[in-house]
Amino acid sequence: MNVNTRTFHKEYLSSLEASREVAEDIVPYWNSLGLNELIIGQMELCLVEVVNNVFEHAYCNNEGDKFEAKSYMSKTQNLIIEISDFGHSMPSCVLEELLSTDFVEPLADDPETWLQSKRGLKIIQELSDKLEYFSHQNRNTLKLQKSAS
Amino acid sequence: MQFDIIEKGQYTIIQINEGRFDAKLAPAFREQLEQIKGNIRDHLVLDLGEVRFMDSSGLGAVMGAYKMLRNTKISIVNPQKPITDLLKLTRMDKLILSHPTIEDALAPTA
């Protein structure tokens, strides 16, 4: 963590437990910023979902591939989280479809409603104020924003 | 022990002894369930009292249990607020009811 600019920035290697490592590192940083418990809890969930997506989709469940986690407070008091990977990028249609769908209410007599796809991404979209995804020179970054005020 | 299995009358209680029910724990939960599914009684109670964090993988594991045990009632007990919030956000609270205590879940009216 850069103490002078109060920016968290660290590299990790992909794995099934990487989301735990990132959360263990970054939650104390968020606590040090004085963020409230609810925001920290919601953003921890978003962070874990993003890191799991990196492992599962960008790196096809392959262990040992590099990704980066960055977090800071913007001048407008928004908490920013950026997770960057160097694997397979997410098709643009995934996010577009996400915006037009809602959580499916599971019905006891309709098994098709029980196992919803892209539930993790939907959670991220619901809990963050803004979600951006960009790819440049094999670097894919998912950027989340959450008002801290 | 990640899980404790308690047989009680017509009920089977699985106590999750972990703080995080996530992508790391979900496969072990599924494996545990596979091992005991033949012995699970009429009502499966998931005691999440120790779980302070759950993600979509944990949720998927619970839904996997629901799908696997088609004729078994499934309840969640002792959920901490982040878990209750997640169930509500994803609307899973409509399908799997939560109760503050095991006794509440086992009550005839639950």
Is A106 in contact with B60 (Cβ distance < 8 A)? no
Q: Is A99 exposed, middle or buried (0-12, 13-18, 19+ CB in 10 A)?
A: exposed
> CB-CB: which of A48, A114, A119 is closest to B67?
A114
* Number of structural domains in chain B: 1
Against a cut of 0.95, is the pTM above it?
Answer: no
What would the mean pLDDT of B48-55 be, rounded to a whole number?
A: 97
Hey, where are the domains in chain A? 8-99+115-147
Is A105 in contact with B94 (Cβ distance < 8 A)? yes
Q: What is the pLDDT of residue A1?
A: 55
Lowest mean pLDDT across A96-100, B2-6, B30-34, B40-44: A96-100
Q: Directed axis angle between helix A119-127 and helix A92-99, to 10°?
A: 60
Strand partners, A136: A139
Mean pLDDT of chain B: 93
Q: Is the dihedral of CA B3, A47, A93, A66 positive or negative?
A: negative
What would the mean pLDDT of A22-36 be, rounded to a whole number?
A: 96
CB-CB neighbors (< 8 A) of A17 in chain B = 24
Lowest mean pLDDT across A10-14, A115-119, A131-135: A115-119
Kindly calculate the radius of gyration of chain B based on its CA atoms and give it in whole angstroms.
Answer: 13
CB-CB neighbors (< 8 A) of A36 in chain B = none
Is B67 in contact with A17 (Cβ distance < 8 A)? no
What would the mean pLDDT of A22-26 be, rounded to a whole number?
A: 98
* DSSP code per residue over A18-52: HHHHHHHHHHHHHHHTT--HHHHHHHHHHHHHHHH
Could you tell me the two tokens for B37?
Answer: 């599914």
Higher pLDDT, B15 or B109: B15
Q: What is the CATH number of the domain that holds B40?
A: 3.30.750.24
What would the mean pLDDT of B87-106 be, rounded to a whole number?
A: 92
Distance CA B8, CA B5 (A): 10
Could you tell me the two tokens for A84?
Answer: 């960057």
The secondary structure element, H or E, covering residue B26 is: helix B26-36
Q: In chain A, which residues touch B (CB < 8 A)?
A: 16-17, 19-20, 23, 41, 44-45, 48-49, 52, 55, 103-108, 111, 114-116, 119-120, 122-123, 126-127
Strand partners, A143: A82, A132
Percent of chain A with pLDDT over 90: 76
Is the confidence at residue B102, as pLDDT, over 50?
yes
Is the confidence at residue B54, as pLDDT, over 80?
yes
The secondary structure element, H or E, covering residue B90 is: none
Is the confidence at residue B14, as pLDDT, over 70?
yes
Could you tell me the two tokens for A103?
Answer: 């959580």
> Are B69 and B14 a contacting pair, CB within 8 Å?
no
Domain A8-99+115-147 belongs to what topology? Heat Shock Protein 90 (3.30.565)
Mean pLDDT of chain A: 91
What would the mean pLDDT of A39-64 be, rounded to a whole number?
A: 97
What would the mean pLDDT of B67-79 be, rounded to a whole number?
A: 92
